[in-house]
Structure 1
């Protein structure tokens, strides 16, 4: 793989505008090369080099950037002509920080010198951009490290409150050593109590410990070690005999600010706030530890990305200077890369030191000193593709095709499509099995979304907040959908086969329970507590679904309302689920007969079930309006309310029929379609920008072919028109039963939602790119006065 592609593949996508524009600089060098080829006259500065053949590559030179070698290997024979190609200087402009670097090209009068002059100007612009961004990020993580240190002090204080460690020598003052945070071995007494306590940050104290332990390489012999040991022992004895543990004054200034994540916790917090004497509980400590562990993991990941950013950019500057030397037959890279190495980008070590401190602090306070366990949490292994997934996916897909062929053969053998029992079968068994069809289609669309998100480098794991290494790829989702399709089609085929065989008539009741058994299997797999069949993803889905159900009581995140949007496209699946309950609990499933659809109660729930997904989404918008104070969320809630009115009107027209219902349903559906289409295209997708760089689209696009966006917009409008089929009177096609037509319309809505998913997440990703937002904000548990 060429470096340009590798460079793009490894960069942090949310920071892609802050990286060195390697392709742009490469294009300038290509222009310079074309100019040299058109002008065969060699430049005076390159005559000696060309006469000796192409410039020999010095591997140590091009690998000599910060992080690989300490300094550049200088050749014993240097040409003064090579050293005078460029002069690099640092200029401190007024009001600018950090200082900017400028390169003076000394051979502008040579043939093609104007291209080289332009190259170094643009190279300086890119380097200053990278340098400024890197320094800004380092300053942010340094400030965040200070805050984490204060939070760790608060966590230690909470541990002392809850666990109530053994009292110190004073009898009333609590010993700090019981929680194991002594900054150095010299400050711990023989009996395990701490003699002196300074309110030093935990990360700093761990660094001091590691530095004191690592000092032996600076000593000359074992005499110094022995002297230090004696001094430490004397200090311990003196401190243990003359001093008492100091009181923990920080306990009076730390307040727990863990936000309640459920109605029960919110009520508990209100009750505890009424009684200020209530002591801290172990549940609070456990929640605070979880938040701190998450904060440390996110912070460590941020440090890793910043370090990777520094490394890749230095590598890019080394590569582009290597290409410059190769094209121009000069040796200017030595001077420029030395400047890169001496700059803040190449010489700063704050990120590496912070990583060491975080590792030490996390292992000490959250992994109980187990380094392997701590590092496994901080650095989870990258997810690897497994061959068995592809194998089983192929097996299930082949079985699915075979079962479809078997069902077609069974239908023709029984001539079910023309038999008198066709209506009975379509009104009873088809809704039961079509529920699985809707779920499978949605999973297939989601798998397609994942494939295209990865292809166009949309960071969907970060947007959804998946734990690193647990996100499902499109192969895993297709594996689950194909497995479910095998179960569904096997149930359909067995049902048809048992109905055809006279010997199995006595087991008719059992055959009618096959769909219910499939539902039970799916529910058991979904809620299975064992670590099988992607437990982390299943539990993540369950948590999001639970927060959707309790929409007003939880602060909403993108996965929550994204899932709620998916549920709004599964209205027919919810109605089929209602049919399940009524068919097996109210109807006579042994004879495939039922009369509950004529009941008023069924009609009431037919309305309610259709409205529930939109109502939950509306409540989410109201909660976001309350949290963010953004009126756009209120407008979005009104959009869903208009959809609720349209759904109620369409359902009334479907059940009642009549000219009045038709007018109401047509009007409300038309208004809702216009509002929802505008919101999809303009707000969710960010398209239809008249003054954008890409006409009627947006400034940044993940797909280079702009026609894809216009096709998607047209499809969105057409598929939304499927809402109108019931109002316009298309209740049954000549070749389709009414139930089948309803299933087709519901499938079109699922397909529309799948298309919407891609562009919705693309817009979210590009917004993160525009704001350089590559990390999730983690709530911290404590507030210090």
Structure 2
């Protein structure tokens, strides 16, 4: 694979604009080559056959500054690079091309001007990110100190004063052997904790160890707290005892629950967050035990994993840009036959991008601290947590997906042939079958179609580098690809089609009509089977993704008691397009609980309770989304959430009136249904295109679209807008009752319900594309993780600044 394609593939999607514009520089070099070929074709062809003098290794990745020649030693010097110092923005590099008077020299001047701009851009971005991570490293050090102090105090409630301080010092020592890291009274060998290394300055490995050990080293006895090991630590770094550390710490409520939300609503405004002082420590000693410590242990572990991921992304950013500068200079030498790469790469190596070691040092420190504190000094287990393996594409997934697809198509063809062979649609039995059994199987059709649309969306998100795992918050290495989702959808399609075919065959065969009661239990068995697989706690069929889905469903149901995240309201929007599926599920309850399956009579529609829930079920998805808007309004204080809530409220009114017309009929209900549905459709269409998709911008570079587009073909966006409008109003035929003679009413309803699911799938792609572009505009590539502890008084301002940085990442 060519470097340009590999460079684009390896980019962090949210930082694309911060990378060196490799393709832009290549375009300028193509102009230089075209000029050379036009003016000196023979000389250029002869020179192009020569091997380049530049070493094939990346100069920016193998720094050997001592062996590099000075400017005066470079034969036939072409460029002169000046380094300018500016206040607040670091160094600025400016290259002067010394052969500008030659023919075509102005094109090469443009190349080096562009090259300097890219180098300055990359260095400034890298420096800003490194400074932010260094600040976060200092915050993590405080988090670790507070956690160790809390653990020591909880596990040793009877100790105080110097004994407690000796326990704390023995826990935070960075050189403590794994066999003596416990300072509890029971000396539990399974509890191993080592404090975060005090110093975060990582410019030199030798200085790291000196700053950790310190010049004044004292022997601290830990016999008073149950530890007979003598360890050397620097007392000056830990002058405060654990009690005083805890006096400046308060616990953040990182574990959100409906109960905590309700308590927060009725909480007195004068009541402060949980904090530690001398009076409250007595209660803490009685209430906090090992379970409490383990919870914050897991919370901190998650914080460290995310921080390590940030460091790896930044290190990879530096590596790829250094390689890009080396490659582009190699191309320049090959095209122009001028020797300028060595001098320029020396400047790149001496820049902040090539000369900074903070990220590498932090990576080593985080690995050491994490392994000692969170994996019981087991390096293999610790590195598995820090560096989860990339998900491998398995051939058997592709094979079974194709196999199930072929089986489902064959089953559907067999179903159509049986219906046509027996002329079921022309008989009374066929009409009863469509009213009783067919709606039960449409539930599976809606689910399968939605999964297929999701698989298609994943395919195109990956193709256009939309970082959907980060946006949805999937755990790295556990997100499903389009092949896995397609496998699940086709597998479910085979089950549903086989059940429907078996039910139809047994129902039409005269020899099996005595077993109708048993045959009509087939759809119920299928539903139970799907629910059992979905909630199965065993590690089968992508358990992590199933539990993530269940968690999001639970948070949607409990709205507004949970803080609303993007996966929550995105899933709630998907549920609004599955109203027919909810009604099918209601039909299951009525059909089997009333014994309807044994009588083959449609009594559900005439049942008062069923009709009441027929209203409620249709409103539930929109109501949940409305409550989520209310919760976001209370948190963000943004008026847009008010308008969004009114949009869903108008849809609720339209659904209620349309359902009333469906049950009661009448011209008055029809007029009300048309008016309310039209208003709701217009509002929803405008919101979809303008707000959710970010299109139809008046002052956009792309007319009637937006400035940044993921899909290069602009016509795709116009087609998507037209389809969204057409499909929004497609279900209006249910009010106007335009029916085709060749189709049954249930078939017509199913078709238009499927069209709504397709419209939602199209909406999902462009909605996530717009969210991705918002992250790109803000360079937001890191997930914000809540910290378990926060410092107040003098450190309060620093913590607030850190929270702002997390939001901007």
Q: TM-score normalized by structure 1?
A: 0.90
Of 759, 766, 774, which aligns to 2:781?
774
Q: Secondary structure at the match of 1:315?
A: helix
Q: Rate the CA distance shift 1:648–1:51 in 2: closer, same or farther, 3 A.
A: closer
Q: State the shift of 1:75 in Å.
A: 8.6
Is contact 1:167-1:175 (8 Å) kept?
no
Residues 173, 245 of structure 1: 8 Å contact kept:
no
Alignment CA distance shift 1:245-1:37 (3 Å)? closer
Distance, in Å, in 2 between the alignment partners of 1:449 and 1:183 is: 48
- Cα displacement (A) at 1:283: 4.7
Give distance in 2, aligned partners of 1:547 and 1:25. 49
| C-alpha deviation, 1:71, in angstroms | 4.2
1:203 is the counterpart of 2:232: no
Unaligned runs of 5+ in 2: 186-193, 223-228, 793-809
Change in CA separation of 1:662 and 1:444 when aligned onto 2, cut-off 3 Å: same
2:770 corresponds to which of 752, 758, 763: 763
Partner of 1:324: 332
Describe the shift of the 1:150–1:75 C-alpha distance in structure 2 as closer, same or farther (beyond 3 A).
closer
Aligned counterparts of 2:370 and 2:332: Cα–Cα separation in 1: 45
Q: Which residue number corresponds to residue 84 of structure 1?
A: 77
Change in CA separation of 1:646 and 1:268 when aligned onto 2, cut-off 3 Å: closer
Range with bigger deviation, 231-240 or 646-655: 231-240
How far is the alpha carbon of 1:51 from its aligned partner? Answer: 8.0
**5 Å matches for 1:117-128?**
117-128=109-120
**Residue 623 (1) aligns with residue 617 (2):** no
Residue pairs, 1:263-342, within 5 angstroms: 263-266=258-261, 276=280, 278-279=283-284, 280-342=288-350
Q: Where do 1:504-543 residues align within 5 Å?
A: 504-543=512-551
- Superposition deviation, residue 166 in structure 1: 8.0
| Contact 2:178–2:377 (CA under 8 A) maintained in structure 1 | no
Answer yes or no: is 1:655 the counterpart of 2:663: yes
Structure 2 CA distance for aligned equivalents of residues 711 and 690 of structure 1: 19
| From 744, 753, 759, the counterpart of 1:737 | 744
CA distance in 1, matches of 2:717, 2:513: 55
- Distance change in 2, residues 1:188/1:289 (3 Å): closer
Partner of 1:183: 174
- For the Cα contact (< 8 Å) 1:182–1:188, is it kept in 2? no
**Does the 8 A contact of 2:308 with 2:366 survive in 1?**
yes
1:302-343 residue CA offsets vs partner (Å, 9 max, x unmatched): 111111111111111111101110111111001000110111
Distance 1:15 1:566, change over 3 A: same
Matches within 5 A, 1:100-249: 100-164=92-156, 167=159, 175-176=167-168, 180-185=171-176, 202-204=196-198, 247-248=241-242, 249=244
Please say if residues 32 and 112 of structure 1, whose CA atoms lie closer than 8 Å, have aligned partners that are also in contact: yes
Residues 425 and 185 of structure 1, relative CA distance in 2, 3 Å threshold: closer
Q: CA deviation at 1:264?
A: 2.7
Contact preservation (8 Å) 2:257, 2:561: yes
Q: Separation in 2 of the partners of 1:319 and 1:190?
A: 49
Following the alignment from structure 1 to structure 2, what is the Cα–Cα distance between the partners of residues 231 and 613? 65
Change (3 A) 1:751 1:267: closer
Q: 1:689 aligns with which of 677, 690, 697?
A: 697
Please name the residue that 1:56 is paired with: 51
**Aligned residue in 2 for 1:783:** 790
1:155-214 deviations in Å (ceiling 9; x for gaps): 112222332378489556561256x321345999999799xxxxx971336999x96899
Contact 2:61-2:322 within 8 A present in 1 as well: no
Task: Classify 1:640/1:283 alpha carbon distance in 2 versus 1 (closer, same or farther; 3 Å).
Answer: farther
Q: Which moved more, 1:18-27 or 1:149-158?
A: 149-158
How far the C-alpha of 1:391 sits from its partner, in A, is 1.2
| Pairs aligned (count) | 756
What does residue 261 of structure 1 align with? 256
1:477-488 maps to which residues of 2 (within 5 A)?
A: 477-488=485-496
Give the whole-Å Cα distance in 2 for the aligned partners of 1:580 and 1:663.
32
Contact kept? 1:134, 1:306, Cα under 8 Å: yes
Residue 364 of structure 1, CA deviation: 1.2
Cα deviation 1:79-118 (Å, max 9, x = unaligned): 967352111110123x451110111111111121111111
Give the Å deviation of 1:516: 0.3
The answer on whether the counterparts of 1:168 and 1:245 sit within 8 Å (CA) in structure 2 is: no
SS for the counterpart of 2:537 is coil
Partner of 2:800: none
Query: Does the 8 Å contact 2:166/2:221 carry over to 1?
Result: no
Q: TM-score scaled to structure 2, two decimals?
A: 0.87
2 CA distance for matches of 1:193 and 1:499? 71
1:12 aligned partner: 12
Go from structure 1 to structure 2 and tell me whether the alpha carbon gap of 1:22 and 1:247 turns closer, same or farther (over 3 Å shift): closer
Query: Take 2:179 and 2:27, find their aligned partners in 1: how far apart are those partners?
Result: 63
For 1:713-763, what per-residue CA distance to the aligned partner results, in whole angstroms no more than 9, with x for missing partners? 000000011231122122x32011111111111101000000000000000
SS in 1 for 2:790: strand
How far apart, CA to CA, are the structure 1 residues paired with 2:208 and 2:292?
37
| Partner Cα separation in structure 2 for residue 53 and residue 673 of structure 1 | 63
